Amino acid sequence: MVFNADKKLVERVKIFFSDVDGVFTNNQVLEGATHKGKWRSYYDGQGTSLLRAIGIRVCFITNEKDESAKAISDVVAKLNKLPSSEKNPGDGGWHHVKLYTGMGGTKKIIAAEEYLAEVGLSFDDAAFMGDDLVDVPLLRRVALRAAPISAEKIVKDIAHFISERPGGNGAIRDFANFILECRGVDPFTLSPQ
Q: What is the pLDDT along the chain (193 residues), one digit of tens a residue?
A: 778 777 888 999 999 999 999 999 997 777 777 667 777 888 999 999 999 999 999 999 999 998 888 889 999 999 999 888 877 777 778 999 999 999 998 999 999 999 999 999 999 999 999 999 999 999 999 999 999 999 999 999 999 999 999 999 999 999 999 999 999 999 988 876 6
Q: Does residue 192 lie within any of the structural domains?
A: no
C-alpha distances (whole Å) from 35 to each of 60, 136, 172 are 21, 29, 25
Position 183 scores a pLDDT of: 94
Q: What is the CATH number of the domain that holds 7?
A: 3.40.50.1000
Q: Does residue 130 lie within any of the structural domains?
A: yes
C-alpha distances (whole Å) from 186 to each of 21, 47, 165, 177 are 30, 14, 21, 10
Name the domain count of the chain: 1
The closest alpha carbon to 166, from 17, 41, 37, belongs to: 41
Domain that residue 102 falls in: 2-184
Position 192 scores a pLDDT of: 67
Position 35 scores a pLDDT of: 67
Phi-psi region of 111 (alpha: psi -120 to 50; beta: other; left: phi over 0): alpha
